Amino acid sequence: MTPTPASHTRSIPAPAMRALLVLLFVIWANSFTAIKYLLETLDPMELVLARFLPVSVFCLLYLLLSPGRRRDTVSILRSAPLGVIAMGLTGVAGYNFFLYTGQGGVKPGAASLLTTLSPLFILVLAILFLKERVPTRRVLGIVLAFAGLYLVVRWGRVGLAGIASVEGAELRYVLVTALAPLSWSIYTIVGKSLLGRASPVVVTYLTLVIGTLPFLAFADADFFRTMAAFSWEQWAALAHLSVLCTIVGFLIWVAALSRLPATEVASYVYLNPPLAALFGHFLFGEEITGLFVLGSAVVLFGLWLAQGNRTGG
């Protein structure tokens, strides 16, 4: 029998896939600081282009240089053109434009808090559109993890309430930032529905190419002059966003969707703010309080509940 497009990810044990998701959020937890740093030089449109232009070139070459991947690419474009376009526009264009624009008015901690709305959005969309049967313990785990997360970002870090809280941010920036997790939720749900038709690699890299296309209009001479004047610190921040967060990160996310329920994969988003705070402690000496430890424990317990039945993988 011919293997299905996602069969190679089915061979990855569920515990290993969950470990990859934890690794993914170790990578993604540091993206908000990199974004804030690069927004000092680039506007939101330019930052999306700077991050995804090299990514899209790599992904396009990767898809074209293999006959098998070319066939898969043509096949998915013919069978689900609206789906791959929707993934590109929401996962690349929508999510990143709204996040970068919102971070012009909210601090990195507030942005990381707002992006954790995505598991709640995905929970609703998975029930409505994927007809996913969500166990009660997973719903409880998602809600409990959000409660623990709120403890972490609101009271868990001494002296950082102004960074973690959204109270002082202009409402319009808060609302714009909240559109980012909504876009990511749509990307996730559409991606889950497409994974039976092509491999996670093809789906991920094709949608990255498509999502970059609208931003090519901003690739003018001024943009390239600004890029040419980057310091090594700026190049390092951009490499973190482009290579680790995008080429590696997006692939892990879509591969996990091919192996696990969408609502379970989404629950790992709650690791973002606690991990960001933890890195802040080790790298910058930011203090960790008892409430941080308590909130993080609640988050981890909620994630354990959200994983559902182990026997179902």
pLDDT tens per residue, range 233-257: 999 999 999 999 999 999 999 999 9
User: Looking at residues 168-194, what average pLDDT do you find?
Assistant: 84
CB atoms within 10 A of CB 109: 24
- Higher-confidence residue of 210 and 156: namely 210
User: Looking at residues 6-10, what average pLDDT do you find?
Assistant: 53
* 308 φψ region: left (φ > 0), alpha (ψ -120 to 50), beta (else): left
Q: Is residue 2 part of a domain?
A: no
The structure's pTM equals 0.80
**Which pLDDT band, with edges at 50, 70 and 90, does 179 fall under?**
very high
Is residue 211 within 8 A of residue 34, CB to CB? The reply is no
Q: Is residue 97 part of a domain?
A: yes
Q: Which two tokens stand for residue 117?
A: 């709305």
What is the total count of domains within the chain?
Answer: 1
User: Looking at residues 37-41, what average pLDDT do you find?
Assistant: 89
Is residue 264 within 8 A of residue 138, CB to CB? The reply is yes
Output the pLDDT for position 161: 45
The per-residue pLDDT of the chain, averaged, comes to 83
Q: How many degrees, rounded to 5, is the angle at CA 234 between CA 95 and CA 109?
A: 50
Q: Is residue 67 part of a domain?
A: yes
Q: Is residue 1 part of a domain?
A: no
Is residue 259 within 8 A of residue 17, CB to CB? The reply is yes
Model confidence at 85: pLDDT above 90: yes
Output the pLDDT for position 284: 61
What range defines the domain where residue 247 resides? Answer: 7-312
Closest CA to 200 of 211, 188, 210: 188
Output the pLDDT for position 280: 67
Closest CA to 256 of 76, 80, 6, 29: 6
Model confidence at 207: pLDDT above 90: yes
Return d(Cα 264, Cα 303) in angstroms, integer: 8
CA atoms within 13 A on the CB side of 35: 26
User: Looking at residues 51-62, what average pLDDT do you find?
Assistant: 96
Q: How far is CA 254 from CA 71, 91, 299, in A?
A: 20, 11, 23
Question: Positive or negative CA dihedral for 118, 119, 124, 128?
Answer: positive
Write down the residue that tokens 């680790």 correspond to.
244
Model confidence at 158: pLDDT above 60: no
Amino acid symbol at 110: A
Q: Is residue 88 part of a domain?
A: yes
**Which pLDDT band, with edges at 50, 70 and 90, does 155 fall under?**
low
Output the pLDDT for position 156: 57
Output the pLDDT for position 141: 86
